Amino acid sequence: MLQILFYIAITAEAMTAALAAGRRKMDWFGVCLLACVTALGGGTMRDTFLDHYPLYWVGNPYVLLLVCGAALFTIIIARVMDRLRWAFLALDALGLVVFTIVGCNVAMEINAHPLIVIVSGMVTGIVGGILRDVLCNDVPLVFRSELYATVSIVTGAIYYFGAMTDINRDILIIIAVAIGFPLRMVALWRKWEMPKFVYDKDL
Amino acid sequence: MLQILFYIAITAEAMTAALAAGRRKMDWFGVCLLACVTALGGGTMRDTFLDHYPLYWVGNPYVLLLVCGAALFTIIIARVMDRLRWAFLALDALGLVVFTIVGCNVAMEINAHPLIVIVSGMVTGIVGGILRDVLCNDVPLVFRSELYATVSIVTGAIYYFGAMTDINRDILIIIAVAIGFPLRMVALWRKWEMPKFVYDKDL
Amino acid sequence: MLQILFYIAITAEAMTAALAAGRRKMDWFGVCLLACVTALGGGTMRDTFLDHYPLYWVGNPYVLLLVCGAALFTIIIARVMDRLRWAFLALDALGLVVFTIVGCNVAMEINAHPLIVIVSGMVTGIVGGILRDVLCNDVPLVFRSELYATVSIVTGAIYYFGAMTDINRDILIIIAVAIGFPLRMVALWRKWEMPKFVYDKDL
């Protein structure tokens, strides 16, 4: 089940990246490259941190074709994209939660410290979007937007502590998604934000 | 022969980076650092992705001196640089093609999947320039410019499929360079570009 | 002793990052994340380059809590921060020197080439600040500011050549700090800078 959710999540991330590329007037190649960095960058950084080789996409190179295909498909359907806004944000939220669970799994397999399990989930969930924003020359949205990283941390914590118990793994995944996903959607809808730190003096 | 071409390519990349640094009014140290990141960043990222250690420059540290030397030499000859514009673009195109071949070689040595061989060549060829542009706070040129990445993919594909046959390796390198290099130069000259994806709605 | 200096340095780096985050109006999570990247990014990149696993913070995850704690504490005391300007710059300079020594140590333990020892110290000392500036969408300060990287190189060279002799390691650390730290402070005070390379033609 996680496998299916994972491919949906990768596709959703690739599509958000393609739209970001379009806003920067990139060419088709740039669209594909930005999609790959966004969809696979989080997992790549996690695996580099944990020395977990081969990287997912090196072992399963066809995922590169899936990502590029999703990105190019987005170019075709861009015209109707704004009418799909909420479907799209929902897919992106699902992607965040699923990537987090996948990242926690990888760290738990190598018996990492609980803090590292949470960080591993968070890196997998949010780094792709950070790289996308850096390559588009923006201050990453995740540093300022609605509970994005918080959702990842909450989901990771639920998943980690759930896995301590003897709950069936598939049921645990459903529980984690059923909490993390609506949390993100409600945060988007109600514009919940973390308090901001504003400092305007030069050092 | 690849070795000689490789040093020429590294030198050319270091010099383009030095000029980019000069446009940002960096100090001499910044010039050297940006040159190292540009000339060695692609290979470093490829080796990190493929878990291929030690990194090239860690095993051959004198290449760092070559890169810094080329960068500082560029400061001296900057005055005549604009008269050398085409010689310079030609060296940069040669660098792209040679880096691609080197990157494919590394992946083929560890028997990677054909898709990964192409990606390995492309990462080696284009990532240095992307890092240079990010550090200079630009949207990377490769996402928008004339067939840069496409040349890398074409060169990599020729090299990979050529290596399947029993063509002599040096002759194969000459063939790959003889196709990839003019392709890039003609693309620059005729301003060939990939179609662009323009999307101007907010998500 | 190096251990104590190291924790002071990490705390100082986390605090500079928190102030940078405040200038970009990031939320509390963004403040913590930027602090982690700044304080631990240099060491992480060094360990990735040298294939030195597990990463420091993966093996000692409580350092993540220290960094986040220092960052959040900075939010509380931000009001008095500008009166502490010089204390703060001093801590940052100490951090640079100590990170450099730690980075040299790691490379010396694996018997790296002298050039790589110096580079390892420099990467550990300056990469955190570069990543902080890239994520804040600035051209990294280190490419232009007062002898930052030069101090790291000088400190690394002293430490490396000192370790060739039979000087006691703790005394050597004191010597390296006693030269590198005042060098940075005097450079700040007298506004010493490297010569700049200014090039204003398009390629």
CB-CB under 8 Å, A64 with B115: yes
Start-end of H helices in chain B: 2-23, 28-50, 56-59, 62-81, 85-109, 114-135, 148-164, 169-190
pLDDT digits (tens, 9 = 90+) for B124-163: 999 988 888 888 877 777 676 667 888 999 999 999 999 9
pLDDT digits (tens, 9 = 90+) for A150-178: 899 999 999 999 999 988 888 999 999 99
- Residue A113's closest chain C neighbor by CA? C61
Instruction: Give mean pLDDT, residues C40-48.
Output: 94
CB-CB under 8 Å, B134 with A135: yes
Task: Give the per-residue pLDDT at B146.
Answer: 66
Kindly list the partner chains of chain B, i.e. chains with 3 or more CB atom pairs below 8 Å.
A, C
| Whether residue A83 has pLDDT greater than 80 | no
The number of CA neighbours under 13 Å toward the Cβ of B130 is: 24
Task: Give the per-residue pLDDT at B2.
Answer: 83
| Whether residue A147 has pLDDT greater than 90 | no
Which of B143, B151, B193, B200 to substitute to test the interface with A, most A CBs within 10 Å? B143
> Which among B48, B53, B64 has CB closest to C119?
B64
* A195 belongs to a structural domain: no
CB-CB under 8 Å, B196 with A28: yes
| Whether residue A39 has pLDDT greater than 90 | yes
* B69 belongs to a structural domain: yes
Which of A153, A197, A201, A203 to substitute to test the interface with C, most C CBs within 10 Å? A197
Q: How far apart are CA A144 and CA B51, in angstroms?
A: 34
Residues of B with CB under 8 A from a CB of C: 16, 18-19, 21-31, 33-34, 44, 48, 53-55, 58, 61-62, 64-65, 75, 78, 81-82, 85, 88-89, 134-137
pLDDT digits (tens, 9 = 90+) for A86-135: 877 888 888 899 999 999 999 999 999 999 999 999 999 999 888 888 88
CA distance C156 to chain A (A): 26
Overall number of domains in chain A: 1
Using an 8 Å Cβ cutoff, are B154 and B118 in contact? no
Chain B residues whose beta carbon lies within 8 Å of the beta carbon of residue A19: 199, 203
* Least confident residue range of A1-5, A23-27, B179-183, C194-198: C194-198
* C197 belongs to a structural domain: no
* Residue A203 confidence class, pLDDT cut points 50, 70, 90: low
Kindly list the partner chains of chain C, i.e. chains with 3 or more CB atom pairs below 8 Å.
A, B
Distance, C-alpha A68 to centroid of its chain: 17
Q: How far apart are CA B36 and CA B62, in angstroms?
A: 12
* C35 belongs to a structural domain: yes
Which of C120, C197, C198, C201 to substitute to test the interface with B, most B CBs within 10 Å? C197
CB-CB under 8 Å, B19 with C199: yes
Which of B58, B76, B92, B130 to substitute to test the interface with C, most C CBs within 10 Å? B58
CB-CB under 8 Å, C144 with B18: no
Tell me how many residue pairs between chain A and chain B have CB atoms under 8 A apart: 84
* Residue C51 confidence class, pLDDT cut points 50, 70, 90: very high
Q: How far apart are CA A129 and CA A37, in angstroms?
A: 9
The number of CA neighbours under 13 Å toward the Cβ of A87 is: 7
The residues near C31 (Cβ < 8 Å, ≥ 6 apart) are A197, C17, C18, C21, C22, C71, C72, C74, C75
* C47 belongs to a structural domain: yes
Residues of A with CB under 8 A from a CB of B: 16, 18-19, 21-31, 33-34, 44, 48, 53-55, 58, 61-62, 64-65, 75, 78, 81-82, 85, 88-89, 134-137
Instruction: Work out the percent of chain B whose per-residue pLDDT is above 70.
Output: 96
* A89 belongs to a structural domain: yes
* C200 belongs to a structural domain: no
Q: Range of A34's domain?
A: 2-190
Which element (helix H / strand E) includes C106? helix C85-109
* Residue A194 confidence class, pLDDT cut points 50, 70, 90: confident
* C37 belongs to a structural domain: yes
DSSP3 helix / strand / coil % (chain A, rounded to 5): 80, 0, 20
SS3 C169: helix
CB-CB under 8 Å, B135 with C140: yes
- The residue with tokens 């051959």 is B60
> Which among B113, B137, B196 has CB closest to A26?
B196
Low-confidence ranges of chain B (pLDDT < 70): 142, 144-146, 201-203
- Residue C139's closest chain A neighbor by CA? A137
Q: How far apart are CA B113 and CA C114, in angstroms?
A: 37
* Least confident residue range of C1-15, C146-160, C185-199: C185-199
SS3 A196: strand
CB-CB under 8 Å, C134 with A130: no
Q: Nearest 5°: CA angle at C118, between B50 and B107?
A: 15
SS3 B20: helix
- Is the ipTM beyond the 0.95 threshold? no
| Whether residue A144 has pLDDT greater than 70 | no
- The residue with tokens 């040299």 is C104
Using an 8 Å Cβ cutoff, are B99 and B45 in contact? no
Residues of C with CB under 8 A from a CB of B: 48-51, 112-113, 115-116, 119, 130, 134, 137-140, 142-144, 149-150, 193-201, 203
CA distance A54 to chain B (A): 7
Which of B110, B115, B120, B197 to substitute to test the interface with A, most A CBs within 10 Å? B197
Q: How far apart are CA C184 and CA C175, in angstroms?
A: 15
Phi, psi values for residue A153, rounded to 5°: -65, -45
Task: Give the per-residue pLDDT at B125.
Answer: 92
